[in-house]
Amino acid sequence: MPPKKTLKKDEEVKISLWKKVGQPRQYSWEKDEILEVIYWQKQILSLILGITWGVLKLQYLPVIIAFLVMIGAASYFVGFQILPGDETEGVGGPWPVVTEGGMPAFATFLLAWIITYTMCYY
Partner 1 sequence: MLFIPNVILVVLASLIVNLTTTVIEWFLVYRTEDFKRLSDEIKESEKKVETLKKNKESVIVSNTSLKKDDKAPKNSKDRQIEAYQKRIKDANQQLTMFRMKSTLATGVVMFSAFGMMSSAFDGLIVAKLPFHPFGLLQGMSHRNLPGTDETDCSFLFIYVLASMTLRASIQKYLGWTQATPSMFQMPEEFNEESK
Q: Of 3 and 60, which has the nearer Cβ to partner 1?
A: 60
Q: Give kind and range of the element (H or E) at residue 117.
A: helix 102-121
Binding site for partner 1 (CB under 8 A): 32, 36, 39-40, 43, 53-54, 57-61, 63-64, 101, 103-105, 107-108, 110-111, 113-115, 117-119, 121-122
Q: 31: Cβ–Cβ under 8 A, 6 or more apart, which residues?
A: 88, 89, 90, 91, 92
Q: Of 39 and 76, which has the nearer Cβ to partner 1?
A: 39
Closest distance of CB 108 from partner 1, Å: 4
Q: What is the DSSP letter of 6?
A: P
